[in-house]
Structure 1
């Protein structure tokens, strides 16, 4: 039994190291097909690609819809076809949700290096744990039928994308686009995973605000890193569009900066420190953001 457990840990270790030793492939042609339209673009120096589609006809429905990706080799022969999904947001939704992941949804110990590395290196999507009650809370916020879109803006790198997809599916958490840090390569980057200035989170939240100008948001994060400051800044710039801010107390930071709380209050936005998901649920219920109760 002990040998079986050690084999699993070694397998998890190999998979995680492989994620950070993988190599980006630049200048590859990718054909994107969506709703009857096709575009061919090239990957950048980090292996990323992105493009905008302007659909000139009504879509059958909002929500998740299929999009096809095809890689072309140097002879322009199609080598790989992959079907993915794109989220078409219903702009008439009551609100959207923007959530951090590490130590907000996923128990990560991001501020404790050794504990964080032990989790990253020895656990997988099935054995990592979400915080108690998160599934029920997020399902209630999204309206249980995902009428309210949810976006996961995290300081985790794109290297962890497949792990996060598996984790959220395994734990039955509401599906939403992942907006992560740029791809990194190397063991040092694995050790520093989730670190940095977190400025990319501010940039990505601004992008969501501009992309959906008629949509208000609930912001959810934790006290371990910079979420309170980032969310306070967002509330100051979009005061009429932030319905509430929930900050999970983690690590040594068990209190919020009173200046930040006062700052958001002046904008008519309440920043709430919670120690359990149940506390956040209770507040959201009273605020009219959700309709039913959950037992944690």
Structure 2
């Protein structure tokens, strides 16, 4: 069981601004009232609970199970739901149709839904949060590698949730940002962000040149090195992101996203705090791993990674930062140069004797990786 876990059936989310108040913010209460009334209305008309599965992870003795309970109409098949019908190691089980981004957000969550998790034959009762999200650590004795967990709704609908169990002999792991690190998203300029997220087909998204090759050549030859994708993006986008990663040859791994919207303390979650809390959680849960942290200099990745390096230099093997072009920097934060504090953060990383790799694309980062002589043996 990981040191931070709260036990089977719990929802041990990373600490965030939600934890600053035991009483939800008024916006959160309004959101819950709307969602619960809409859910009750639709259930009376025959809509049923289904599970949208997300890739989970674990280690010896435990797995973190991730998913979301949503409502679907009587004529909707399980295979028609976003994210259902594909396995990270087995390819698509059915043809995947390109979807416009808004379809991933047009869902009706089922607040505080109860589901049964079946892990290696053992059953645990789990409870979703007010947004329908299941995020629970479950005791188990699974062997290292990929496994399937079943989540069963009260109505008997079953979804297969893949989880990767990291073995005790694994020594290294990778945490990768998504936006403008592996996928060109031109965030957070509002209109472009809205267009990319809600309007464009998910197969029209552009990969960052050379990044998939960098990941394959630096980490792919070590099949047991886990790659986890940490982003401030919404869980609603997880199915589209998963399809993007598979389509462009990135390593398969869990997505660690966030729930946009009201929290216990305000209207929106802090993306930076989500990343900080998740990184600290990974350091605690997986104490035997040293990490390669990959991000870009368009937002706060260099600062957040430098904080981890300062706190735990022995746990970071290297930091790799994709350098955005001047145009991309303007789109990211309104100025043609990296965000304030980036240079000092990079200097702190170097002073800690942790290799800092920098380049405009994957090919440049691979050259840096090779020239530093970094190995995963």
TM-score range, shorter chain: 0.7 to 0.9
1:79-98 correspondence to structure 2 within 5 Å: 80-98=157-175
1:65-214 correspondence to structure 2 within 5 Å: 65-73=147-155, 78=156, 80-144=157-221, 146-184=223-261, 196-214=270-288
Tell me which protein shows more strand as a share of its residues. Answer: 2
Q: Give SS of 2:243's match.
A: helix
Query: What is the CA deviation profile of residues 187-241 of structure 1, one whole-angstrom value per residue up to 9, with x for unaligned ones?
Result: xxxxxx9x94421011011111111101000001011111111100011111011
Q: Structure 1, unaligned stretches of length 5 or more?
A: 1-10, 186-192, 292-296
* Residues 1:269 and 2:350 aligned together: no
Mapped to 1, the partners of 2:163 and 2:125 lie a distance apart of 17
Deviation at 1:183, TM superposition (A): 4.6
Q: Structure 2, unaligned stretches of length 5 or more?
A: 1-97, 263-267, 330-335
Partner of 1:284: 369
Partner of 1:229: 303
Normalization by structure 2: what TM-score? Answer: 0.65
Q: Which has the higher contact order (CA 8 A, sep 6+)?
A: 2
Change (3 A) 1:42 1:54: closer
Partner of 2:108: 23
**Does structure 1 retain, via aligned residues, the 8 Å contact 2:185–2:193?**
yes
**Does structure 2 retain, via aligned residues, the 8 Å contact 1:111–1:224?**
no
**Does structure 1 retain, via aligned residues, the 8 Å contact 2:303–2:346?**
no
**Does structure 1 retain, via aligned residues, the 8 Å contact 2:355–2:372?**
no
Deviation at 1:254, TM superposition (A): 4.6
Deviation at 1:119, TM superposition (A): 2.6
Query: What is the CA deviation profile of residues 16-61 of structure 1, one whole-angstrom value per residue up to 9, with x for unaligned ones?
Result: 2233342221122101011121101221111112322223x5x4x4
**Please, what is the CA RMSD of the aligned residues?**
2.4
Runs of 4+ in 1 over 4 A off after TM superposition: none
Mapped to 1, the partners of 2:252 and 2:139 lie a distance apart of 24
Partner of 2:87: none
Mapped to 1, the partners of 2:273 and 2:160 lie a distance apart of 31
Change (3 A) 1:183 1:70: farther
Deviation at 1:100, TM superposition (A): 0.3
